[in-house]
A = this chain, B = another copy of it.
């Protein structure tokens, strides 16, 4: 399935994912949002809180730096502690440095005023963004994310990440959402492979996927037809079902 949709990658930053302590969910959430929006997610990477790894990944993935994809979204590492190095690392990847942003500082100050707390140096760290970046706001936390080049940097805390996604996505160029239909069959994948290939060859403009599973009742397979045209996807699914005798 080919499309002119923007392409994208997600970069998840955090030792806690790689140690197995936390099961990553932000990339899965954003993957669903991007598919519904018409942005083709092509790659996800998870790296540790390590400057060199982050810089290399941002440069490999952001097209504005010669990387592979139109858009890059990151998650994690923009909090107030010493191991939150994403702002500095993304700045470095884009050939600049992170500084206190006046607008971000004002957001944090206003939140502190409402809470009756002080804008400590640690809290103020969350106002540091790369020079030239614009802010990504959210409804949960006063601490903003930011966009620079084609890199969009968001928080790792799931509620904040989702708030930033909600704010950001409507502001991006989008394409035609991918349409899909699926059917579950109680047969092993090898029993449907031949028919699936025959229909996939006939409908080369569509994408046919088969996803085997194994549960208490034994083996089954989910068959998924994807494409940009709803009627064409429906036709592909009808022909596939007929061939399988469903």
Contact = CB atoms under 8 A, between A and B. Distances in A.
Interface of A: 12, 15-25, 27-35, 41-49, 53, 79-83, 120, 122-123, 125-126, 140-141, 157, 159-160, 178, 180, 189-194, 196-197, 200, 207-214, 224, 226
A91 B16 CA distance: 32
Given A81-B193, A81-B196, A159 B35 contact: no
A20 B42 contact: no
B45 A207 contact: no
A36 to B, nearest CB: 8
A157 B221 CA distance: 11
A22 B82 contact: no
The 4 closest A-B pairs by CB, nearest first: A20-B32, A20-B31, A122-B193, A44-B46
A194 B125 CA distance: 12
A76 to B, nearest CB: 10
